[in-house]
Amino acid sequence: MRVTFLGTGTSYGIPMPGCDCPVCRSDDPRDRRHRTAMLIESPDATLLLDTPPDLRTQCLAFDIRRIDGVLMTHDHADHLFGFDDLRAYTNRMPEPMPVWASAGTAQTLRRIFAYLDQPPLPGTSLARIALHVAEEPFDFMGFRLTPLPAEHGRADMIGWKFESEGRSFAAIPDCKTIPPETLALCRGVDLAVLDALRIRPHPTHMNLDESVAALKAIGAKHSLVIHLCHEVSHVQAEQRLPDGIAPAHDGLRIEW
């Protein structure tokens, strides 16, 4: 399995437009964070987690040649508004691209992208999507995919667990708390990735300390935090985190 972090930032991205803070002005390339998305690959399949507003830029930067399916986490703008950029890939696919989402996120997608439920006009090239509501684990192209319900404000939030060829990866990009049933599904995965917005608490995101506690409960072989905001630099996050837990950064690639 190979996981590539296409983006690791919170909703504003870093630098935030118009901001002169030390993190937004940092020379450390790890402090430049696009909105959060990941590419999960096996020898047979390429899956995308979320469609942030930066998706087109990320697809070009990482030279993504194909996307076989998309796993959506929730309907906040920073995870959704690159959705229409999938069109570049669906145009070349013989069948509609499968996309899985929670019931609430699927409803939002149908409201924003009304073409999902309309027959295409002849000669046009709208994204051809097969949208599925994910409530149970399912198999797709050699992956076992499990939705991971989590609490994140008013969003109908799900993280995802990916299992392939004896390897496992769990990612919950945005969350405040993780219910015990989801913790049980994540326990002992090879790689776990969680939300950690900043050092101060936030009403709908974990801060670094909350994320550390949840990652220790999961007990993955490797643990990373993402979705950092401009209040904490990569180096500051590294210093704050205990051994065995690190901040991810854009372009980080883990293969095992």
Q: By the criterion CB under 5 A, which residues form the site for Zn ion?
A: 16, 19, 21, 24, 76, 78, 174, 230
Structure tokens at 211: 């994320």
Rank residues 19 and 103 by Cβ distance to Zn ion and give the closer one. 19
Least separation, in Å, of the C-beta of 50 and Zn ion?
8
Tell me how many degrees the CA angle 80-85-91 measures, rounded to the nearest 5: 135
Rank residues 163 and 174 by Cβ distance to Zn ion and give the closer one. 174
Least separation, in Å, of the C-beta of 153 and Zn ion?
7
Neighbour tally for 53: CB within 10 Å: 20
Least separation, in Å, of the C-beta of 47 and Zn ion?
19
Structure tokens at 250: 């854009």
Structure tokens at 53: 């507003």
Least separation, in Å, of the C-beta of 63 and Zn ion?
25
CB 194 within 8 A of CB 211: yes
Least separation, in Å, of the C-beta of 6 and Zn ion?
14
Least separation, in Å, of the C-beta of 74 and Zn ion?
6
- How many whole angstroms separate alpha carbon 75 and alpha carbon 186? 22
Rank residues 1 and 72 by Cβ distance to Zn ion and give the closer one. 72
CB proximity list for 44: less than 8 A, separation 6 or greater: 141, 142
Percent helix, strand, coil in the chain (nearest 5)? 25, 30, 45
Rank residues 24 and 212 by Cβ distance to Zn ion and give the closer one. 24
Rank residues 174 and 190 by Cβ distance to Zn ion and give the closer one. 174
Rank residues 58 and 90 by Cβ distance to Zn ion and give the closer one. 58
Query: DSSP for 133-171?
Result: E--S-EEETTEEEEEEE-B-TTS--EEEEEEETTEEEEE
Least separation, in Å, of the C-beta of 51 and Zn ion?
12
CB 226 within 8 A of CB 36: yes
Residue with tokens 């990941």: 38
Rank residues 54 and 174 by Cβ distance to Zn ion and give the closer one. 174
Is the bond preceding 15 in cis, omega lying within 30 degrees of 0? yes
- How many whole angstroms separate alpha carbon 40 and alpha carbon 20? 34
